[in-house]
């Protein structure tokens, strides 16, 4: 009887393992982790890349280019800050929090040392701290730029004492600032705090004081959060000027740096699967419906859209090396960059994908999280552990 029970348990365990392998472990190893992935060296692509050395461009998760003003904006935390406090990656050192800032680089100028002039934007009428991931920028009719920032401060109790971040997670908000063009100071407009926006990775402005946000986790802390790369998790929040709701809550594998395309569709990458979801927003119902999927063959960190409407995706070809590089930027982490063009068709959403850059060794372009394309010059600006 005992032997039969052991045999039954062994058979059940083997069957469960086989199902798990087919459903998720195989994808995790070969897609997410990039096991045995074949890669190309940087020399095979028509780009000459160099690193821009400046403390104001270290640990920059996201970038946005104002092509008219010829200024590149970056959400940065510095190397120590990003390594120590990074809730997205499970880094919970509260003493490293509060070090994020927005940098501005003038891309068509050089200073006396041959470097691009870079400045740190000052904050006006804001008493909190910044711990940033992704952001979006709204061009307003009065000429001002409105920044929508995903912010992740340490959680506190009613007496302002820090809670245990490993068990409670972070206090995530969307902070909104306005910048007058030509100035180096941002004025705080408002804070958005809502349960539907509980783990925002990036914001995409959608018009009329509204936005969508990619929650990269379903759980803010704990074991289930750590296992979401296997089981799936995350959601997309839809917010109007007065309310926020969950617009899509199933079928995600850690959704990452989403964008709103020139076609009005929402493009959502994933940190744990190899395609993008293309969603249509119905603002009146706060709902998102899937229109298409774009296969890239690897996970993607952030997306960016250029002035021509092309989407630029920064891939994560070797996830384990990428995670190691976030903890120690001296470790090389390969980078792959794709350009996604929408085909001219009125019947279906079809896309053309081209690999534009790949540094298979990570010797030059390492630990990248976002790519911006300047359509006027053809240059690419790549952010991550450093700026390239």
Residue 319: Cβ-neighbour burial (10 angstroms; 0-12, 13-18, 19+): buried
Rounded CA separation 120/62 (Å) = 15
For residue 20, the model assigns a pLDDT of 46
**Three-state SS for 157?**
coil
The continuous run of DSSP H or E covering 155 comes out as none
Rounded CA separation 311/230 (Å) = 27
For the chain, which ranges sit under pLDDT 70? 1-35, 345-347
Rounded CA separation 353/336 (Å) = 12
Residue 19: Cβ-neighbour burial (10 angstroms; 0-12, 13-18, 19+): exposed
Q: Whole-number mean pLDDT of the chain?
A: 89
**Three-state SS for 94?**
helix
For the four alpha carbons of 96, 102, 107 and 112, in that order, the dihedral sign comes to negative
CB within 8 A of 219, min separation 6: which ones?
225, 228, 233
For residue 196, the model assigns a pLDDT of 97
Residue 378: Cβ-neighbour burial (10 angstroms; 0-12, 13-18, 19+): exposed
Rounded CA separation 213/200 (Å) = 6
Strand 85-86 with 335-342, pairing:
unpaired
For residue 29, the model assigns a pLDDT of 57
Rounded CA separation 278/289 (Å) = 8
For residue 225, the model assigns a pLDDT of 85
**Three-state SS for 378?**
coil
Q: How far is CA 107 from CA 6, 115, 137, in A?
A: 68, 10, 18
For 276, half-sphere exposure in the C-beta direction (CA atoms, 13 angstrom radius) is 33
**What tokens appear for 337 in the block?**
């960059």
Residue 313 near residue 269 (C-beta atoms within 8 A): yes
Rounded CA separation 145/175 (Å) = 14
Rounded CA separation 219/364 (Å) = 35
Residue 369: Cβ-neighbour burial (10 angstroms; 0-12, 13-18, 19+): buried
For residue 26, the model assigns a pLDDT of 53
Residue 269 near residue 256 (C-beta atoms within 8 A): yes
For residue 114, the model assigns a pLDDT of 81
The secondary structure of the chain in percent helix, strand, coil, rounded to multiples of 5, reads 20, 40, 40
DSSP 24: I
**Three-state SS for 56?**
helix
**What tokens appear for 360 in the block?**
């298979």
CB count within 10 Å of CB 251 equals 12
Rounded CA separation 227/78 (Å) = 28
**Three-state SS for 353?**
strand
DSSP 81: H
Tens-place pLDDT, residues 287-321 = 999 999 999 999 999 999 999 999 999 999 988 88
């Amino acid at each position: 009887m005992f032997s039969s029970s052991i045999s039954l348990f062994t058979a059940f365990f083997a069957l469960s393992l086989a199902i798990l392998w087919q459903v998720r472990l195989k994808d995790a190893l070969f897609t997410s982790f990039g096991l045995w992935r074949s890669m190309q060296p940087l020399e095979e692509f028509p780009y000459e890349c160099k690193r821009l050395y400046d403390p104001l461009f270290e640990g920059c998760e996201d970038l946005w280019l104002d092509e008219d003003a010829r200024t590149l904006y970056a959400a940065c935390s510095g190397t120590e800050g990003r390594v120590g406090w990074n809730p997205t990656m499970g880094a919970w050192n509260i003493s490293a929090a509060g070090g994020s800032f927005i940098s501005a680089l003038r891309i068509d100028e050089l200073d006396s040392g041959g470097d691009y002039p870079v400045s740190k934007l000052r904050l006006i009428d804001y008493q909190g701290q910044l711990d940033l991931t992704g952001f979006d920028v709204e061009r307003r009719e009065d000429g001002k730029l409105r920044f929508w920032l995903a912010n992740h401060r340490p959680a506190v109790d009613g007496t302002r004492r820090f809670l245990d971040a490993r068990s409670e997670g972070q206090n995530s908000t969307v902070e909104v600032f306005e910048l007058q063009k030509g100035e180096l100071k941002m004025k705080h407009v408002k804070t958005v705090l809502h349960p539907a926006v509980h783990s925002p990775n990036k914001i995409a402005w959608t018009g009329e004081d509204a936005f969508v946000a990619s929650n990269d986790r379903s759980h803010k802390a704990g074991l289930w959060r750590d296992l979401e790369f296997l089981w799936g998790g995350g959601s997309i929040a839809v917010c109007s000027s007065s309310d926020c709701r969950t617009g899509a809550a199933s079928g995600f594998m850690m959704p990452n740096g989403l964008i709103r395309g020139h076609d009005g569709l929402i493009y959502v990458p994933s940190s744990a699967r190899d395609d993008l979801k293309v969603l249509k927003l119905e603002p009146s119902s706060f709902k998102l419906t899937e229109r298409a999927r774009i296969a890239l063959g690897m996970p993607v960190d952030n997306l960016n859209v250029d002035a021509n409407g092309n989407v630029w995706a920064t891939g994560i070809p070797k996830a384990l090396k990428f995670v190691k590089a976030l903890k120690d930027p001296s470790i090389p982490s390969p980078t792959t960059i794709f350009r996604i063009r929408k085909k001219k068709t009125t019947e279906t959403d079809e896309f053309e994908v081209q690999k534009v850059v790949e540094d298979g060794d990570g010797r030059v372009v390492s630990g990248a999280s976002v790519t911006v394309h300047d359509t006027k010059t053809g240059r690419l600006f790549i952010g991550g552990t450093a700026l390239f």
